[in-house]
Amino acid sequence: MSGYYILQIDWNGDEARKRYIELLGDQIEKHHGEFIVASRDFRVVEGKWGRGLLVVIRFPTMEDLSAWYDSPEYRSAREFRLQNSHSDAVIAEGD
């Protein structure tokens, strides 16, 4: 089953967003992931969503997702994101 990384994020400035993209590099592709959604254009129909950007990344398996998320290469990018944004993320398994 596929693994999905779902993130809602509000950056503390455009420079922080650009730097995170640089730090992220090609890590998603190296772990066989693909961006499904990266949009500010969404409509909340239930709950308290509301951060600036919604991101969904699909990986072929949960193992591929975990390999990316737990990798030393991503660790520094993740720490930078956590220090320079307000975000919530979940990992889910699905088809």
Mean pLDDT score, 74-80: 96
| CB distance 57 to 4 below 8 Å | yes
Domains, in order of start, for the chain: 2-94 (3.30.70.100)
| CB distance 77 to 22 below 8 Å | no
Mean pLDDT of the chain: 95
pLDDT at 18: 96
Residue 21 pLDDT more than 90?
yes
- Per-residue confidence at 26, pLDDT binned at 50, 70, 90? very high
- Per-residue confidence at 49, pLDDT binned at 50, 70, 90? confident
